[in-house]
Amino acid sequence: MLTYRDAKIAGVNVADDTINNPPAPDQLITREELWKQGGLPQRPDVLSKEMHDQWQRHEQKFFDTWKTVVHKVIGRWAKTIRGEGFRLLAPGEVCAEMEDATIKKLMASLNRAEFVMSHVKDNDLTVNERHDKLDRQQRMAFIKKAIENSLNHKFNPSGGVPDPTPPTPAAPSPTPRYRFDPSKVR
């Protein structure tokens, strides 16, 4: 049976192999390949619910260990391709991928919070609770708008505003009508 310790050790060993022979950025690495490379046993056909949950945790530990060690050593993150496996991102793709994934999760959470808050009936709230609800909705809207604005700057560095025309040279300042004459001061 697969143990937590075995999964972690196998993850480190497979990561060492990946580090020594890194695949091309567009090459797909299947979960099955990694599992065989780690020398781990196949999942039994019949498992109790507890054993199934334990097996899944150990599997996840194996893949998380592999991804983390590879990323720490060579700086390439293993992006999960659902139902297929992993793809090691090129170094230039890692930050963009992490930003996109984070923004996607943040926006989903904000949309969910907005939905839940907007459907709380004001009639069921006290005056203070209504004010509290409005304050919270405003904060959430502010955060959402800040994320949307950052996305606009991501795709258009000027933030949607056209580039300003070069400044025109300033006109010479007009000469004053009178000049200060220090000799006339008493």
Q: What is the DSSP string of 29-70?
A: EEHHHHHHHTTPPPPPS---HHHHHHHHHHHHHHHHHHHHHH
More confident residue, 174 or 72: 72
Beta-carbon contacts of 152 under 8 Å, excluding residues fewer than 6 positions away, are 159, 160
pLDDT at 165: 59
DSSP assigned state of 75: -
Provide the pLDDT for residue 88. Answer: 93
pLDDT at site 168? 64
Tokens matching residue 45 = 């056909």
pLDDT of residue 175: 57
Q: What is the pLDDT of residues 93-109, one digit of tens each?
A: 999 999 999 999 999 99
Given CA atoms 15, 21, 26, 28 in this order, what sign does their dihedral have?
negative
Confidence grade of residue 157 (pLDDT, cut at 50, 70, 90) = low
pLDDT at 156: 57
In the sheet that 78-81 helps form, which strands lie side by side, from edge to edge? 28-30, 85-88, 78-81
Dist. CA 117–CA 141, nearest whole Å: 11
78 pLDDT tier (thresholds 50, 70, 90): very high
Residue 79's contacts (CB-CB under 8 Å, 6 or more residues apart) are: 86, 87, 88, 89, 97
The per-residue pLDDT of the chain, averaged, comes to 86
Torsion-angle region of residue 19: left (phi > 0), alpha (psi -120 to 50) or beta? alpha
Which amino acid is located at 167 in the chain? P
